[in-house]
Structure 1
């Protein structure tokens, strides 16, 4: 018997990633509709800053050339949810910034209030990015490592 899986003609890994990326969109859509985060919920969202469709100010690209983490908790506004992206305004060291982030650019979506975390595959496979600092948007609280991490890796053949 061989340990190698047969090549699939169905792109299961892409289908699963697309379905998982819909979760942050659905959660954020509820926040957009109600205008507030319920209870103690808050989100750490890590995304690829150079991914297609990402629009962030140059001062953030200079500081985070590969990926960055934002926090949606107390101080955010103009949350708009689209089919393939979301927009939000935050402050970074008291400087307002408007961000447009496609769901395809997401790497992590974490709600530390309930130990929920999603990790998404990197769109452009290659070397793992260097570790990065979290973006210092205003009113960040310390992140907790979630125990409910969902990862799916079908071990794509190259």
Structure 2
């Protein structure tokens, strides 16, 4: 039996680690320059915490902006909490990294998009198998990698 490496989950974990590192830096030093974030997350995620009126208004997903005013940013291994202003009403949120669908910093044209397996067209594609000896595998014989992550097109965020 061959071992299998789940590159999709490994990539998602690495990308979420990048988000954590960025948020850790922002929690410690604030947002530098023109940096700001659009974060879209699944409001129905079992570990997401938000006011009832927000989850009622955004039952599937919600995009929040961290830019001019945010408070109480606390970053953990599993997610982050932050207080954001919704029409002059400060509301605390807890967003698990697993609930994040997109993370975009348009000031530097950087973006990440997380896709779940049920959103992929290639759902039945087998994971990549790793042979015990690299000489056993020819490059043309390796199955194509399943597409699990893309860079977000920033055109939708431009005015």
The interval holding the TM-score normalised by the smaller chain is 0.7 to 0.9
Which of 1 and 2 has greater Rg?
Answer: 2
SS at the partner of 1:125?
A: helix
After TM superposition, give the deviation of residue 25 of structure 1 in Å: 0.7
Query: Distance in 1 between the 2:3 and 2:52 partners?
Result: 41
Count of matched residue pairs: 123
C-alpha deviation, 1:93, in angstroms: 1.1
The yes-or-no answer on 1:90 pairing with 2:84 is yes
Match 2:21 to one of 20, 23, 26: 26
* 8 Å Cα contact 1:17/1:121 also seen in 2: no
Of 113, 118, 121, which aligns to 1:125?
Answer: 118
Q: TM-score, normalised by structure 2?
A: 0.72
Counterpart position of 1:103: 97
Distance in 1 of aligned mates of 2:12 and 2:49: 22
Q: CA deviation at 1:126?
A: 5.1
After TM superposition, the runs of 4+ consecutive aligned structure 1 residues lying more than 6 A away are none
Cα RMSD (Å): 2.0
Q: CA deviation at 1:155?
A: 4.9
- TM-score using structure 1 length: 0.72
Structure with the larger helix share:
2
Structure 2 SS opposite 1:30: helix
Q: 1:60 to 1:81 in 2, by over 3 A?
A: same
Unaligned runs of 5+ in 1: 1-6, 128-152
Q: CA deviation at 1:102?
A: 0.5
